[in-house]
């Protein structure tokens, strides 16, 4: 019996992978300054860096590419993309962008006023960066369980209404003019919210004139959890659940590179009633992205997205994807590797603090662990912890978030069960020699979103930096 649900598709085209030696990978790691983002993809065997733009398109999507209308203005492909977004999500006012952060940029520049407070169910890196660039401030209103890797609560993406109410009481709805919720919360380990929670949040916000905006990047994966695990929702299709989620919002942005099942693209979309904000964003898209009927996407990409958004609503596809995640989660769990529980919607997240308890958080355990996993077997994951959280703009210190994780992100429709078994074996090998793993010192960092480009070197074997030293050493 297969341990994964068999894939509801078969392979039509293959892409060769290359295994390397450990010595070679050590050289690659040195050249990449111990940052997996700085490795060449050719030097990676199994690439679990991200699920963003790394999925495989279907034959229908490749067929649709050929029908792309590359007209500069008024492209037919734009209409096709809008029809699909309307059908699947119900948004009618749509602005295409080159990817998710292009949509975030337009949204925050036009919606946020300096001093605004934006509560969110945890942060995402690019979202918070754009919010702060526009003069707004992020506040975390996710439930406490989300910050505890060992909590088995199924709806860790839920908003804690008391936290939201506390902020509204404190700042007033003049400063808390909106909240933002993301399905399948990325930084929490791919954790979903429940429909019941979203409905409650919407009712609370409606009473006070507070808007609700969604980051619908991984909405289908969240809808899968609702369909299978939330009482009353088994009779609704994934598409119906997505429509209901979106119906509780005033607008949304999406990185289509995830649940859009495409390699590039994004959009900003609003419900009727948001014509004014839509018009402001639409007049700005031409400055930063492209004309409002392509916004940084080619016609063929818009055609592929139109197909991808419908395909992602297939319960068989989503169930198979989830069973792949459960397979990897289960194999690691059996070997005692500390993980985020329960298994999330787009990746398996290793708890690096528990994996490497001898390292201080300012010795970047998750960054060090991601490097070791690469060294061991050519498997590339990424850090989601102290590096990703950036520095506190007021104190200049590392934020030291409670979750210090390595994300093993599963690309959509790309890897097989045996690839995932290989990944599990690699991580388990590293776990067996965890005591010998050294921390890292950050030798260079950019000002924002440092995890993409920061550089590190291993700390000397005989001495780990103390927390205080770690902070000053990485300040340069």
**Active-site residue numbers?**
72, 124-125, 215, 258, 384, 451
Asked if 127 interacts with ligand F0G (CB under 6 A), we say yes
Of the pair 101, 322, the CB lying nearest ligand F0G is at 101
Residues numbered 169 to 208 that lie near ligand F0G (CB under 6 A) are 182, 186
Among 189, 266, 338, 470, binds ligand F0G (CB under 6 A): 266
Of the pair 67, 263, the CB lying nearest ligand F0G is at 263
Cβ(49)–Cβ(381) below 8 Å: yes
Asked if 255 interacts with ligand F0G (CB under 6 A), we say yes
Asked if 257 interacts with ligand F0G (CB under 6 A), we say yes
Among 61, 75, 77, 99, binds ligand F0G (CB under 6 A): 99
Q: Which sign, positive or negative, has the C-alpha torsion 178, 103, 318, 323?
A: negative
Supply φ then ψ for residue 252, to 5 degrees: -160, 160
Asked if 388 interacts with ligand F0G (CB under 6 A), we say no
Q: Which of 92, 127, 121 is nearest to 254 (CA)?
A: 127
Asked if 249 interacts with ligand F0G (CB under 6 A), we say no
- Per CB under 6 A, the segment of 62-70, 121-129, 329-337, 462-470 that binds ligand F0G is 121-129
**366 Cβ partners below 8 Å, 6+ apart?**
350, 352, 383, 384, 385, 386, 387, 404, 405, 406
Asked if 101 interacts with ligand F0G (CB under 6 A), we say yes
3 state SS for 374-417: HHHHCEECEEECCCCCCECCCCCCECCCCCCEEEEECCCCCCCH
Of the pair 274, 383, the CB lying nearest ligand F0G is at 383
Site string for ligand F0G, 139-168 (x = CB under 6 A): ------------------------------
Of the pair 182, 343, the CB lying nearest ligand F0G is at 182
Residues numbered 12 to 31 that lie near ligand F0G (CB under 6 A) are none
Asked if 77 interacts with ligand F0G (CB under 6 A), we say no
- Per CB under 6 A, the segment of 93-101, 188-196, 354-362, 420-428 that binds ligand F0G is 93-101
- Per CB under 6 A, the segment of 95-103, 188-196, 420-428, 463-471 that binds ligand F0G is 95-103
Of the pair 205, 252, the CB lying nearest ligand F0G is at 252
Find the shortest distance in angstroms from Cβ 262 to ligand F0G.
10
Find the shortest distance in angstroms from Cβ 305 to ligand F0G.
12
Of the pair 251, 439, the CB lying nearest ligand F0G is at 251
For 228, the token pair is 């299978």
Find the shortest distance in angstroms from Cβ 246 to ligand F0G.
16
Of the pair 222, 464, the CB lying nearest ligand F0G is at 222
Among 158, 217, 249, 426, binds ligand F0G (CB under 6 A): 217
Asked if 58 interacts with ligand F0G (CB under 6 A), we say no
Which residues contact ligand F0G (rule: CB under 6 A)?
Answer: 50, 52, 99-101, 124, 126-127, 182, 186, 215, 217, 255, 257, 266
């Amino acid at each position: 019996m297969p341990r994964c649900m068999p894939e509801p598709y078969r392979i039509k085209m293959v892409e060769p992978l290359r295994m390397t030696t450990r010595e070679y990978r050590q050289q690659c790691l040195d050249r990449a300054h111990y940052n997996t983002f700085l490795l060449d993809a050719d030097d990676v065997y199994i690439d679990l860096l991200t699920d963003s733009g790394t999925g495989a398109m279907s034959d229908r999507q490749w067929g649709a590419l050929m029908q792309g209308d590359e007209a500069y203005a008024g492209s037919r492909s734009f209409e096709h993309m809008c029809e699909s977004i309307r059908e699947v999500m119900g948004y009618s006012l749509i602005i295409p962008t080159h990817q998710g952060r292009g949509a975030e940029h337009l949204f925050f520049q036009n919606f946020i006023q300096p001093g605004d407070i934006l509560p969110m169910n945890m942060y995402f890196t690019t979202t918070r960066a754009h919010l702060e660039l526009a003069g707004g401030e992020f506040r975390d209103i996710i439930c406490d369980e989300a910050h505890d890797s060992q909590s088995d609560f199924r709806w860790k993406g839920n908003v804690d209404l008391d936290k939201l109410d506390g902020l509204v009481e404190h700042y007033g709805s003049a400063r808390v003019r909106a909240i933002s919720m993301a399905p399948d919360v990325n930084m929490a380990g791919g954790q979903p919210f429940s429909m019941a929670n979203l409905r409650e949040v919407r009712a609370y916000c409606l009473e006070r004139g507070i808007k609700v905006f969604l980051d619908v990047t991984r909405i289908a994966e969240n809808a899968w959890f609702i369909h299978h695990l939330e009482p009353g929702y088994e009779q609704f299709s994934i598409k119906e659940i997505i429509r209901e989620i979106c119906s509780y919002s005033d607008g949304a942005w999406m990185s289509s590179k995830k649940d859009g099942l495409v390699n590039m693209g994004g959009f900003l979309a609003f419900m009727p009633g948001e014509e004014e904000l839509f018009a402001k964003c639409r007049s700005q898209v031409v400055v930063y992205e492209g004309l409002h009927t392509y916004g940084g996407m080619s016609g063929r990409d818009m055609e592929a997205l139109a197909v991808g958004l419908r395909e992602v609503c297939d319960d068989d596809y989503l169930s198979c994807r989830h069973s792949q995640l459960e397979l990897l989660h289960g194999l690691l769990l059996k070997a005692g590797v500390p993980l985020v529980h329960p298994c999330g919607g787009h990746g398996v997240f290793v708890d690096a603090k528990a994996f490497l308890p001898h390292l201080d958080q300012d010795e970047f355990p998750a960054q060090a662990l991601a490097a070791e996993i690469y060294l061991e077997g050519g498997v590339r994951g990424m850090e989601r912890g102290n590096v990703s959280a950036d520095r506190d703009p007021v104190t200049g210190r590392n934020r030291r978030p409670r979750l210090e994780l390595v994300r093993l992100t599963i690309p959509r429709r790309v890897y097989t069960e045996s690839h995932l078994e290989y990944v599990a074996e690699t991580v388990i090998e590293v776990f067996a020699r965890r005591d010998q793993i050294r921390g890292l010192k950050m030798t260079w960092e950019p000002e924002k979103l440092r995890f993409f480009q920061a550089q590190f070197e291993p700390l000397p074997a005989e001495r780990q930096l103390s927390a205080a030293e770690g902070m000053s050493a990485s300040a340069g």
